[in-house]
Chain A
Amino acid sequence: MKPISILKAAAFAAALIPAAALAYRFYRFFYSQEFTALPANPGDYITDQTGTWALALLVITLTVTPLRRLTKWNDLVKLRRMLGLFSFFYATLHMLTWVVFVNFFDVTAMIADVAKRPYITVGMATFLILLSLAVTSNRFAQRRLGRRWQKLHRLVYAAAIGGVIHFWWQVKADITLPRRWAVAVALLLAFRVWWAWRHKTPPARPQPARPHQLPM
Chain B
Amino acid sequence: MLIRKAPDVRSSEITPKNVYLRRREFLQASAAALVAAGYGSLAGPADAQARTKLKGPIKKSPLSTLGPNDKINLYQHVTTYNNFYEFGTGKDEPAVNARNFRTTPWTLEVEGEVAKPAKYQLEDFIKPFALEERVYRMRCVEAWSMVIPWVGIPLKDVVDRVQPTGKAQYIEFVTLYDTGRMPMQRSAVLDWPYTEGLRLDEARHPLALLAVGLYDEVLPGQNGAPMRLVVPWKYGFKGGKSIVKMRFVDKQPKNTWQVMAAHEYGFFANVNPNVDHPRWSQARERRLPDFLPTTKTLMFNGYDQVASLYSGMDLRKNY
- Cβ < 8 Å to A, chain B residues 248-306: 260, 278-281, 283-284, 286, 288-294
**CB neighbors of B among A21-64 (8 A):** 21, 28, 34-44
Q: Are B144 and A173 in contact (CB under 8 A)?
A: no
- Which residue of B43, B279, B284, B294 is within 8 Å of A36 (Cβ)? B43
A-B contact count (CB 8 A): 76
By a CB distance below 8 angstroms, the chain B residues around A103 are 293
Q: Is B42 an interface residue (CB 8 A)?
A: yes
B interface, size bucket: 20 to 34
**Do A35 and B293 touch (CB < 8 A)?**
no
B76 within 8 A of partner (CB) = yes
Look across to chain B and name the residue whose beta carbon is closest to the beta carbon of A173.
B189
Residues of A contacting B278 in the complex (Cβ-Cβ under 8 angstroms): 117
The CA of A119 and the CA of B278, in the complex, are separated in Å by: 11
Interface of B is mostly: loop
Among B43, B80, B288, residue most surrounded by chain A Cβ atoms (within 10 Å): B288
Q: Do the beta carbons of B85 and A36 come within 8 Å of each other? A: no
In the complex, are the beta carbons of A35 and B289 less than 8 A apart? yes
Q: Which residues of chain B from 146 to 188 have a CB within 8 Å of any chain A CB?
A: 146
Q: Is the CB of B289 within 8 A of A41?
A: yes
CB atoms of A109 and B281 under 8 A apart: yes
Indicate if B204 sits at the interface (CB-CB under 8 A): no
Whether the pair B189, A39 counts as a contact (CB closer than 8 A) is: no
A101 to B291, CA, bound (A): 6
| A174 and B89 contact, CB distance less than 8 A | yes
Report the separation of the CA atoms of residues A35 and B289 in the bound assembly, to the nearest whole angstrom: 9
Find the residue from A28, A36, A40, A170 having the highest chain B CB count within 10 A. A40
Interface residues on A, range: 20 to 34
Q: B89, A173: Cβ atoms under 8 Å?
A: yes
- Which of A41, A109, A170, A174 interacts with B286 by CB under 8 Å? A41
A93 smallest CB distance to B (angstroms)? 14
A187 interface residue (CB < 8 Å to B): no
Alpha-carbon distance between A169 and B264 when the two chains are bound, in angstroms: 13
B16 interfacial contact with A, CB 8 Å:
no
Q: Shortest Cβ distance from B315 into chain A, in angstroms?
A: 20
> Does A191 lie at the interface of the complex (its beta carbon under 8 Å from any beta carbon of B)?
no
Q: What are 22 inter-chain pairs, A to B, with CB distance below 8 A?
A: A34-B40, A35-B74, A35-B289, A37-B40, A39-B42, A39-B81, A39-B91, A40-B76, A40-B81, A41-B144, A41-B288, A42-B289, A44-B144, A44-B286, A101-B286, A101-B291, A102-B293, A109-B283, A173-B89, A173-B190, A174-B85, A174-B89
Task: Please report A residues at the B interface, Cβ cutoff 8 Å.
Answer: 21, 28, 34-44, 100-104, 109, 112-113, 117, 119, 169-170, 172-174, 176
Q: Give 16 new A-B contacts, CB below 8 A, not counting A40-B80, A42-B291, A43-B286.
A: A28-B40, A35-B76, A36-B43, A37-B42, A41-B81, A41-B144, A41-B286, A43-B293, A44-B144, A100-B292, A103-B293, A112-B281, A117-B279, A117-B280, A173-B189, A174-B89
